[in-house]
Amino acid sequence: MENWADEILDSHCHMWELSRFQYPWPTPDMLIGVDHLAVDLMEAVKDSPSKGDFIFVQCLNESPEEAKWVQSLANVNPRIKGIVAGIDPTNPKLVENINTLRAEVPLLVGSRHIPDLDPRKNFFKLDETARGVTLLHQHGLTYDLLLRPPIIEDAAVMVSKVPGDARIVVDHIAKPYIKDGTMEPWREHIAQLARYPNVHCKLSGMVTETKLDSWKADDLKPYVEYILSLFGTDRVMFGSDWPVCKLAGASYGDVINTLSGLLGHLTHEELKKIFCTNARKFYNIE
């Protein structure tokens, strides 16, 4: 895998400054409930094979201020190549908000809205959600789906209502119940999403769905293999989910090394797609 580390694009990492914004999560009593800034990310990467770049993914719903803050960090940290902002697709002022944000956040590449932080329990069933994701697509933005097994089916219905070339990605393989050692109902429901060729999937956030104090690579193996069987190597991408991965005692290097070990049977070109080129194409990173 020569040069793979030089070209990695981490499709999913976070940063937060607890005194700057009011975060519903993480809370200060948590292991990760301290500031995690760009300088901390760069330090964390030193213990890993990665010499590549990063996509920031939002922590706050409907927060242009967060996206602007990360843009200011990226201005002095050129390895941050893209920002997935907290944008509510159901906001009646969606187009106005996109245009305003794009003017102030040149690295804006995509959007995400966290259903767990939305009081509406039927978010993906709303017609406004599909219309908004369509508008985001028409304005050149991707959409990240943060899902759990109970709402994967709802998301599949939403995807069926948007254009077939809208770029959509499932975060964290939709959070299967790895700690319980079960694949149902996740197995059936994620297959419904995989049928749509415009839907991609992040191999990310898996270690925190395990038994946090005793996980091993083999716990993840059947889930990784199943995702590859559904999406192939052209529609999956690596994401560290740093610093959330630290909840499972996993360093940045642990996450990369675990996944690369599970994918060791793939060719150099397939690995390059998963760790590098798929995310660059999806998020339109030069």
Q: What is the pTM of this model?
A: 0.97
Calculate what percentage of the chain has a pLDDT beyond 70: 99
Q: What is the CATH number of the domain that holds 233?
A: 3.20.20.140
Distance CA 88, CA 113 (A): 6
**The total number of structural domains that make up the chain:** 1
For residue 241, the enclosing domain spans: 4-282
Helix residue ranges per DSSP H, the chain? 4-7, 38-45, 64-74, 94-104, 127-138, 149-159, 186-194, 217-231, 252-262, 268-272, 278-282
**What digits encode the pLDDT tens for the residues 15-42?**
999 999 999 999 999 999 999 999 999 9
SS3 percent helix, strand, coil of the chain, rounded to 5, is 45, 15, 40
**What digits encode the pLDDT tens for the residues 100-128?**
999 999 999 999 999 999 999 999 999 99
Q: Are 169 and 199 in contact (CB under 8 A)?
A: yes
Q: Which residues contact 144 (CB under 8 A, 6 or more apart)?
A: 57, 84, 110, 111, 112, 168, 169, 171
